Amino acid sequence: MKYFTLLVLMVHTTVFAQQRQETVQRIFDYEMKDGQCYQMLDYLCNQIGHRLSGSTGAAAAVEYTRMTMKNFADSVKLQPVMVPHWVRGARETGRILTRKAGPVDVRVCALGGSVGTGTKGLSANVVEVRSFDELKVLGTKGVQGKIVFFNRPLDPTQMQTFAAYSGAVNQRGSGASEAARYGALGVVVRSMGWQNETYPHTGSLRYDPMVPKIPALAISTKDADVLSSLLAEEKDLKFYMESHCETLPDAPSFNVIGEIRGSEFPDEIIVVGGHLDSWDLGQGAHDDGAGCVQSMEVLRLLKAIGYRPRRTIRAVMYMNEENGLRGGVEYARVAGELKEKHIAAIESDRGGFTPRGFSMTAPDALKAKVKAWEKYFEKYGLTDFDGEGGGADIGPLGPSGTALFGYVPDSQRYFSYHHTEEDTFDKVNRRELELGAAAMAALVYLIDQEF
């Protein structure tokens, strides 16, 4: 009897595995033939454009995604959230002032949340540093009354591009306040991109309320090299910076939530999402229009193949990841208040490139279960299930016990577009985008069946 039971179990396991593989293939086949996420992204980028929190573009994107999900979700709702409202104003000016070469114009942009210089601009001598330790050594004597130039590049030897980004981004996030502690008048920060780019990268800074707020600009990597070279020749050169940005009162906005109600366990929720807001220099195609349309496509795709989920599948377009994370925090707060049970959350916020796998923050036993699903994805090039992490917007769900997953595409090109005017629709490959949407839908299906 024991051997018969074992045989039956083996047969059942084989049958279930075959069913899973067939459904995963059906998901990918349908998406590659009849996917619609690329068309959604086209509209989001080319008809609406950038979607900075508090802007008219963000409001238009809320309405577009709400109306779009009404076509395939069982229900769609708007979740109110108050968001920061920072505006860039007139185009920024950056100019190196030298005795030998004369004025040299460079490409700059204000960092998100920065104060402006006003119409008179700011001109001062420059001191170059690559770390906060170097800044500390210079101290007030070496920094006061000057513009600090943070010039630490991304490490090109890092194959994990997000590790390279993490190794440099603190100078953007905290550089202004660190410099202000020693009396700096302003900061110029090397862009968070690879070598020889002519366009600057924006991104958020965080002011320490205990020190003065000073203007902060990002400078293109190519022009950062120019500034560094000229400083080596002429230590007392000056830099002129002008910006007109300002922070307005918080503005009302929304998370957009669409869902397909579960047939067996409707109170158990699987979330898939991306952030609807973007920076204002490009169209927010990879960051994070791609993640939004992939998440909406998960609902549409599962509905299209006739799959009835056991659990509730919810697509969330989070607002304000870029300069506040208000949407993700509010979603988790309301979920806690309503005592909702989120068993898993998946975020796509690494661009719409070729899928490689998923990262996870979950108990070891759960990780082992998911890693065993690699056999279903291997055919489609997804073999990386070893990374830790989920995503910024779903992170606030973690303390409630939700298993967090991050969609992991090939990221080698991501930081050439990230937070720049180059992040436009034409940089997204349709097939890569659709493969990512299918991968996310397949993971949702497997979680729904086997968690």
pLDDT (tens digit per residue) in 151-189: 999 999 999 999 999 999 999 999 999 999 999 999 999
Give the rounded percent of residues in the chain with a pLDDT score beyond 90.
95
Check whether 13 has a pLDDT greater than 80: no
> Torsion-angle region of residue 36: left (phi > 0), alpha (psi -120 to 50) or beta?
alpha
Residues 6+ apart with CB under 8 A from 450: 369, 373
Question: The CATH number of 89-244 is which of 3.50.30.30, 3.40.50.620, 3.30.930.10, 3.40.50.300?
Answer: 3.50.30.30
Check whether 3 has a pLDDT greater than 90: no
User: Quick check: do 24-85+249-450 and 89-244 share a fold?
Assistant: no
pLDDT of residue 10: 45
**Helix or strand holding residue 147 (H, E):** strand 147-150
pLDDT (tens digit per residue) in 206-259: 999 999 999 999 999 999 999 999 999 999 999 999 999 999 999 999 999 999
pLDDT (tens digit per residue) in 16-43: 889 999 999 999 999 999 999 999 999 9
Domain boundaries, the chain: 24-85+249-450, 89-244
The answer to whether 321 is a known catalytic residue is yes
242, 321, 340, 422: which is the annotated catalytic residue? Answer: 321
Question: The CATH number of 24-85+249-450 is which of 3.40.630.10, 3.40.630.30, 2.40.160.40, 3.60.20.10?
Answer: 3.40.630.10
Check whether 8 has a pLDDT greater than 80: no
